[in-house]
Chain A
Amino acid sequence: MDEHKIIKGLKNMEDWAVEAVVELYGDRLTKSAYMVCSDRYLAEEAVQDAFLTLCRKIDSFREDSSLYSWLYRITINHARNKTRNRWFRKVLPREEEQFEEAPDYRTPEQRVVEIEASDEIRRSLSMLSLPYRQVIDLYYIQDLKVREIAMLLGVSKGTVKSRLSRARERLGKILGERWAEHDG
């Protein structure tokens, strides 16, 4: 779906545009928000707040950047605020089925091993500082180019490259054993 069509649809207050934008960017933004919060629930809340902000402020969007960049920045801001305020948030019991993983066709044993690996990688990522987590997310998970990341974060290409290099190095140290296992 073309971004311009979605923007036009949202500006004309058409419901199909809501459907399209959530389907197009919902999962990507959740991953980015997770990289900031290291908490799935807070990440989802941040994404929801970002989409609601989009609906309220769409008229002020001038299209000098892509819709995704705009949404990404809003999501990251919400995620950072939520992380900052997390210590005094009231903890409420959550429903179990709130999160879904992608369809799963693995055997139970494979699933246990892979869940453990996923948890370990998520824990390792949360040990990196925010700028490093952001570049890892944008480069490896969102598949953006260095130039696009630089524009999105408002830093130079050199900064992105050096952050990427340090992030890889630190992730390598943290995941040392898993590296070796992967090589084997």
Chain B
Amino acid sequence: MDNRNEKKIKDLLSGGLGGLMISGQSKRRIKDNMTEILARRRLPLWKRLIISMREFWHSTYEISLMPAALTGAAAVALVLLAVHPGFVPIDKPLKGETVYVQSVIQQNGTQTVVYVPIGMEVINDANN
């Protein structure tokens, strides 16, 4: 390898990047953050857990916990509506429904169940 060329490259690069240093301000910030992490690791597990939960809450409640809470509330509302007496499915025929009659036919010892529509139009809604 040509030593002269090597020196030339080194000189140019040290001119170009030699002065690139991390600033005092950033160094302090990095050290503070690292010291905080170490200080936290010195805490008992339960305290660390509480801090993590608090941080998780502060970092995510707007982006993930709110939609989760809204979805949960919607699910609860659906369940409440489903069990409300006014929304329970009814057995009585509604107006315009075809009514079937269940018939049991017994012949030569065999039993068959048939459903026969009784061509009856419900004029009045039985619920009313």
Which A residues are closer than 8 A to B by beta carbons? 10, 13-15, 18-19, 22-23, 26-27, 30-31, 34-35, 40, 44, 47-48, 51-52, 54-56, 97-102, 114, 117-118, 120-122, 125, 136, 140-141, 168, 171, 175, 178-179, 182-183
Contacts and interface: CB of A to CB of B under 8 A. Distances in A.
User: Which of A10, A19, A141 has the most chain B CB within a 10 Å cutoff?
Assistant: A141
Contacts of A48: 26, 29-30, 33
Contacts of A51: 30, 33-34
Interface stretch (B6-14, B56-64, B96-104, B120-128): B6-14
B71 interface: no
B109 interface: no
B17 A122 contact: yes
Given A100-B21, A118-B16, A118-B19, A171 B26 contact: no
Contacts of B29: 48
Contact of A122 (B14, B16, B24, B38): B16
Interface in B19-70: 19-27, 29-31, 33-35, 37-39, 41-42
B5 interface: yes
A20 B12 CA distance: 30
A19 B22 contact: no
A120 B9 CA distance: 14
B34 A55 contact: yes
> What range describes how many residues of B lie at the interface?
20 to 34
Contacts of A14: 38
Contacts of A23: 27
Contacts of A183: 8
Contacts of B38: 10, 13-15, 18, 55
A130 B9 CA distance: 18
Contacts of A136: 13
Given A100-B21, A168-B5, A141 B34 contact: no
Interface in B65-120: none
Contact of A19 (B5, B10, B31): B31
9 contacts: A19-B31, A40-B20, A44-B26, A52-B33, A52-B34, A52-B37, A100-B21, A118-B17, A141-B14
B11 A182 contact: yes
